[in-house]
Amino acid sequence: MFRWWLFCLAWLALACSAHAESLTPLHGVDLPALTTAQPLVGMAVIDGQTVAVAAGQAWRLDDARKRWLALAWPATVPNEVALIQDGTRAYLLWTAQGHTAVAELHPRGDRLDAAALPALPARLIDARGAVSADALFVAGKDADGKARAWQANPADPRTGWTEVPAWPGSEPALSLATQGPNLFVAVGRESGQHLLRWSAAKGWTDATTVPGKLLPAAPRALGQAHLLYLVDTPQGVQPMTFHTITGSWATLPGAAPAADAVTAAWPDGFAWAQRDGGGYAVHAAQLQSGKLLLKWLDWVVILVYLAAMFGIGLYFYLREKRNNTANFFVGGRSIPFWAAGVSLYAANTSSISFIAIPAKAFESNWTYLTNNLIAVLGLAFVAVWIVPLLRRLDLMSVFSYLETRFHPAIRMLASALCIVTQIGSRMSVILFLPALAIATITGISVTLSVVLMGVFTIVYTAMGGMKAVIWTDFVQVLVKMGGALFVIGFIVWHLHGGLSQFMATATANHKMHLLDFRFDLTKATVWGFLFLVLFDVVLTFPKDQVLMQRTLSTESDKEAGRSIWMFAAIMIPGGFVFYLIGTALFVFYKDNPERLNPLLPIDATFPLFIAAELPMGVTGLIIAGIFAAAMATLSGIMNSVATLISVDFYEKLVKQPSPKKSVLIAELMTVAVGLVGIATALLLSRFDIHSLFDVSIELAGLLGGGFAGAYTLGMFTRRANSPGVAIGIGSSIVLTLIAWSFHLVHPYFYLAISILLCIVIGYLASLLFPAPTRSLEGLTIYSRRTDHPA
């Protein structure tokens, strides 16, 4: 059997054409020639307008791109200047009265305006600069020949300049470029030209050796992780991209400028002007990235999967009675513990795990996997103490506990916040990520993909109830884990050096670094995860309706506890699989940087590999795995939120509600919740977000922490009361938002901070009011009821 598996893997590896060509060749276009005898200082695209700058002169390309129009030179700026630009804004540098002056440029009709910024603290010789949305850098040598560099905020540069530590060595800067918060400085050394990287977190490091000689033309950033340079190589001048994550260079085939060209950032590429007789010939080149369409066999695999999921939902729709709330909300409390445990894992590993976590591991390392390892300890506590306590209460909504322990208003407030958290911080991200994958592969727009996936999930979730959710989860785990394991094996097999190359590259680049023991609250460290697991697993599990609803579907409190143990047993190997995918992608693209698409976000790395590298049929299987990852969580969220609306609001606010009407309301609310999730996902798609994984963590912390503390106060103390808990919830949300607005800690800590604030403030506030007089029997860990089945 093992030999047969290896044979199949080898056959698929051979079937996959090992493309060496670039996925994004350059397509050149001619622009009107510029007639001038003056040497050009540079070109820039400013507020959508292309501008050329010479000594004391400037021109603007008209809107029809037919001719160049002269611009009046700003009276406050001398003729001898240097130009900084990034494709959206531009700045001039010049020496005046013993200092280096800086001004931001804006073309206004027939003139060029220059808005003066604060002067640099020292005069620089041969000053160079770089700008992005995050930072404006200027560097050069001072009067003593010492390298100096400064940084300003381009959104508000008038706040002044902050000095950046100078790069090591005495070599002058040949060029500056910036990608995100990182500054890249090219310097010349005896061994050749080197690219140095600076970030506030790591300082200066040697990023790479340049494969040739960088031309004076200004480099530019592309996408989220690429820089575009012109490099003089033995084969001639070539546009080349440097990938800031893998540290690899790739040549862009197509248009190539001359060695004396003056360049500017251009939409999805660059423009350049080169001497031609009495003026300049002007050209532009853009990266062309075609869609990688699915083949017929891929669609067959996807349709078979979707049909199977729909069939499971239809089966339970026809089998189950629709007038029984227990059947629809908690599966008749008849689900085996092992199926509930697998379903728990499926709900916890959404498209965030399948797409964003590999992207996170590709970009960084395995530091975030520490959370999975430590979370198992927290799940052990949950399995022994928390889940059995709540299961014995025979709840459908976990927030019913808050009403019994405190007050109906606390229940409704907590339930409302949970609904907002699930839709705002989870559902939108989980819908958007697969849509991104679909758009990358098929060319279908993100908007259409979000709508199609959301509508399909709404239909099958509304039909099947909790039994359909759990049993489809079971199938979906098999599909997505099978696809994930295949990808890892496929990449290792595809490498020339096989497993030894994989391990050597990953180790040399610290891609498997797991434990960070630094005491730094701004970083994801072991201590932070220990702190987080206490709050994110132990203290938040009771309020997570999506997860708790699965444990409430088991036959007894013992079975509920066993489902948590099953969940914990799957979590660690499952976590390693998804982080291994990211590491495998890093090794593959370090070897094959030309197969990356610089225009795609980092979160699209795995979908790109699926579309461009895997053979027909297997691509469809992995896409089905992405669907499975998303749908498992989406269906759980829709069902759980619909349960909360029906049980916590409809049944509490309507007089004499019937079980049949409660189920009908839940079905209608499933549709409504799905539509709201679709809308929020479409809103999210309008923003350029660096890492959706981080965004989901941040939103969950800001919205979901306050009411989690209410469970801790209720289950672990006898003194907490409803007025004190209400004060704790409100105060924690407000204070956490303040911490977020000032960026005081890493986003991973927002949830823990919110819970801790709720516990401390809620308990202290409870001391100001009378102690609870109602019976707390079975509501705290200090008193248990006898185990019994439902």
The angle at the Cα of 749, spanning 745 to 752, to the nearest 5 degrees, equals 135
Quick one: pLDDT at residue 748? 67
What are the residues facing 769 on neighbouring strands? none
Low-confidence ranges of the chain (pLDDT < 70): 1-20, 320-324, 352, 425, 437, 440-444, 521-522, 532, 535-536, 687-697, 699-701, 703-705, 748, 783-790
Which tokens is 139 given? 């560097």
Quick one: pLDDT at residue 323? 57
The length of the chain is 790
Buried-state track 716-739, b at ≥16 Cβ within 10 A, e below 16: bbeebbbbbbbbbbebbbebbeeb
Q: What is the DSSP string of 211-277?
A: SSEE-SSPPEEETTTEEEEEEEETTEEEEEEEETTTTEEEE--S----TT-EEEEETTEEEEEEEET
Q: Which domains, and CATH codes, for the chain?
A: 28-287 (2.120.10.80), 296-693 (1.20.1730.10)
Query: 């590429």: which residue's tokens?
Result: 269
Rounded Cα distance between 51 and 28, Å, is 19
DSSP annotation of 168 reads S
Quick one: pLDDT at residue 119? 87
User: Which amino acid, one-letter code, is at 754?
Assistant: S
Buried-state track 211-222, b at ≥16 Cβ within 10 A, e below 16: bbbbbebbbbbb
- CA dihedral (701, 703, 708, 713) in degrees, to 10, reads 110
Rounded Cα distance between 242 and 221, Å, is 9
Rounded Cα distance between 622 and 617, Å, is 9
Is 61 in contact with 107 (CB distance < 8 Å)? no
C-alpha distances (whole Å) from 764 to each of 721, 726, 727, 728, 757 are: 10, 12, 10, 9, 11
Quick one: pLDDT at residue 24? 87
- CA dihedral (428, 430, 435, 438) in degrees, to 10, reads 180
CA–chain centroid gap for 450, Å, is: 17
Helix boundaries (H) for 557-600: 557-591
pLDDT tens across 754-782, in order?
A: 888 999 999 999 999 998 888 888 888 77
Is 12 in contact with 490 (CB distance < 8 Å)? yes
Which tokens is 35 given? 């007639």
Buried-state track 480-505, b at ≥16 Cβ within 10 A, e below 16: bbebbebbbebbbbbbeeeeeebeeb
Quick one: pLDDT at residue 20? 61
Dump strand ranges (E) for 55-169.
57-61, 68-71, 82-85, 90-96, 99-108, 111-117, 125-131, 136-141, 147-152, 162-164
Q: In what order do the strands lie in the sheet with 49-54?
A: 40-46, 49-54, 57-61, 68-71
Rounded Cα distance between 179 and 228, Å, is 11
Rounded Cα distance between 474 and 780, Å, is 33
Residue 465: count of CB within 10 angstroms of its CB: 29
Q: Which residues are CB-neighbours of 392 under 8 A, at least 6 positions away?
A: 557, 778, 784, 785, 787, 788
Rounded Cα distance between 660 and 187, Å, is 74
Quick one: pLDDT at residue 693? 55
Is 580 in contact with 354 (CB distance < 8 Å)? no
Quick one: pLDDT at residue 5? 43
Quick one: pLDDT at residue 11? 44
Q: Using alpha carbons, select from 239, 254, 238 the residue that is nearest to residue 289.
A: 254
Rounded Cα distance between 637 and 678, Å, is 13
Residue 237 phi/psi, 5-degree rounding, is -75, 130
CA–chain centroid gap for 773, Å, is: 48
Three-class HEC string of 665-687: HHHHHHHHHHHHHHHHHHHHCCC
Quick one: pLDDT at residue 588? 95
Q: Which residues are CB-neighbours of 27 under 8 A, at least 6 positions away?
A: 254, 255, 285, 286, 287, 288
CA–chain centroid gap for 654, Å, is: 41
User: Which amino acid, one-letter code, is at 304?
Assistant: V
Quick one: pLDDT at residue 155? 80
